[in-house]
A and B are shown apart, each in its own frame.
Chain A
Amino acid sequence: MTDPLEQASDLELAKLAQETDETAFAEIVRRYSPRVFQIASRFFRDRTQVEDASQEIFLRAYTHLADYEGRGSLEGWLTRIATTTCLNLLRNSQRRPESDLAEMPEAEAEWLDHHLAGVSAERHRAAEKSREAADLADRVLGTLSPDDRLVLMLVDADEMSIKDVAGATGWSESKVKVQAFRARRRMREAVEKLLTVRTRNPSK
C-alpha cells in the first residue's frame, strides 16, 4: 500500500507541513534532498560540510514554510533557500589564502601540463584525472569570493540562465551579468598565473 503523502502535490505537502505535520515535511525532505545536496555540493566538497549545509537548508525551509504561498514551484523556492544559505555559510567560512595556489600538488600540476600539451577534453575527463581537476578547481575557486564562486558554478558550470540565477540568488539580472563578467576575469587570471608558472618551470 502506498503512502498517501507520496501521491500528494508539493502544495498539499507544504500546507500540511505548515500545520506542523512532521510526516509531510519528511516527505518534502525525501523528495528534494537530492536537489538540495546537489546545490550544496557546488559550494562544499567535504561530505560532512555538504550534509550540514543541507540540514541547515531544510531547517530554514521549515522555519519559513509560512512564506511559501504556492505561487512558484516548491523546488524553485527550495533552490533559492539552498543557494542563499550556502552562500552565507561560505561567506562565514574562512577563505583560503592566495599563496596556497603556488604550492600545487604534483597531480594537479600534471593536470595543467596535460592541458598545456593540448590533451583532449576526453582524456582530461578520464576518471583518474577528474579528482585532480576537481581538487585544482577547489583551490582556484578558494581564492575567489563566495559571490564569484557561486556565479561561476551556476552560470558556467551548470549553464543556468541569467534569469534563473537571478531567481535563485535574489540578485537582479544585471548584477548576475556583471558578477559573472568579473568572476570569469578573476578565475581566468588565476589560471593564467598557474599556466605561466607551469610553462616556465614544467619540472616543478
Chain B
Amino acid sequence: MKENHIVNLLERRSLGSLSVAELEMVKAHTAACPECLLAYQAAQASLLLLQERASVIVEPPPFFQTKVLAAIREQKLSSKRLRFSRVWQTARPLVASMGALVVLLLALTFFNNSEPPTEPSNVASVNDSAPEWVIVDSDDAGDEMTYSQALTVLYDPTMEAGDADGK
C-alpha cells in the first residue's frame, strides 16, 4: 500500500491536470489511507485557493496612460540630471584646479602691482650717502664742486636772491 501513496503524484502534477482515471485512483487510495486523504484534501483546498486568488484582477484606472507618460518624462528629466551630475563629478577636480590657478595668477598680479617700483641704486642713495660724483664746471675745469655744494648752489634762496640782485 505504501508504494502506492499518491502524495508524489499530487506534487508532480497540478490537481486540475489529472485525468479522470488518475482521479479515480487517487480517490480509491485515499479511502483507505488517512495520511493521503489529508494530503488530497490539502491539495484540493490549495487549488481552490489559487483559483480564487487568480480571479482577483485589478482593472487599469482611467488615467493610467497619462500617469505612465508623466512618469516617463520624469524619468527622462532625472536621467539628464544624473548625467550632468556624473559629468560634474568627473570634471570637478579639473575645474577646481583651474579655478585655483586663476586665483593664484590674480593674486600674483595684484601683489606685483602694489609693490613700489624699484629705482636705480645710484638715484636712491642721493640723500643718504655722500655722492662720489663731481660736477665739473666746464668753464673752469680746475674749480671742482662736490654734489652737495652743487645742490646748495641750486636750491639756496639767499644765493638765488644775490644772483638776481647781481644781475
Which A residues form the contact surface with B (CB < 8 A)?
Answer: 22, 25-26, 29-30, 33-34, 36-38, 40-42, 45, 47, 50-51, 54-55, 58-59, 62-63, 112, 115-116, 121, 124-125, 130, 133-134, 136-138, 140-141, 152-153, 155-159, 180-181, 184-185, 187-189, 191-192, 195-196
Could you write out 28 A-B pairs with CB less than 8 Å apart?
A: A22-B69, A25-B72, A29-B65, A30-B65, A33-B64, A33-B65, A34-B59, A37-B59, A38-B57, A41-B56, A51-B64, A55-B64, A59-B71, A115-B45, A133-B48, A133-B52, A134-B49, A134-B53, A138-B53, A140-B46, A140-B49, A153-B50, A155-B14, A159-B17, A184-B10, A191-B49, A195-B38, A195-B45
Interface residues of B (CB under 8 A from A): 10-12, 14-17, 38-39, 41-61, 64-65, 67-69, 71-72, 75
Q: In the complex, are the beta carbons of A41 and B57 less than 8 A apart?
A: yes
Separation of A106 and B156 alpha carbons in the complex (Å) = 126
Give the A-B contact count at a CB cut-off of 8 A: 131
Could you tell me if B42 and A134 are in contact, using CB atoms closer than 8 angstroms? no
Query: Smallest CB–CB gap between B54 and chain A, Å?
Result: 4
B44 CB contacts on chain A under 8 angstroms: 115
Q: Is A62's CB under 8 angstroms from B72's CB?
A: yes
Chain B: minimal CB distance from A1 (Å):
20
Nearest first, the 6 A-B pairs at minimum CB distance are: A133-B52, A137-B53, A157-B54, A137-B49, A157-B50, A33-B60
- Taking the closest CB of chain A, its distance from the CB of B83, in whole angstroms, is 14
Q: Is the CB of B72 within 8 A of A59?
A: yes
Bound CA span A41–B55, Å: 9
Q: How far is the CB of B98 from chain A (nearest CB, A)?
A: 36
Give every chain A residue within 8 A of B57 (Cβ-Cβ): 37-38, 41
| Given contacts A59-B71, A134-B55, A155-B14, A54 and B46 within 8 Å (CB-CB) | no
Most A CB atoms within 10 A — which of B45, B61, B64, B75?
Answer: B45
B124 to chain A, nearest CB (A): 76
Report the Cα distance A47→B58, complex, angstroms. 6
Q: Which residues of B contact A33 (CB under 8 A)?
A: 60, 64-65
Q: Are A42 and B60 in contact (CB under 8 A)?
A: no
Q: Is B42 within 8 A of A191, CB to CB?
A: yes
Contact of A195 among B14, B42, B50, B64 (CB under 8 A): B42
Contact B14 A196 (CB under 8 A): no
Name the residue among B39, B53, B72 with the largest chain A CB count within 10 angstroms: B53
Measured between beta carbons, the chain B residues less than 8 angstroms from A181 are: 11-12
Query: Most B CB atoms within 10 A — which of A51, A125, A134, A191?
Result: A191
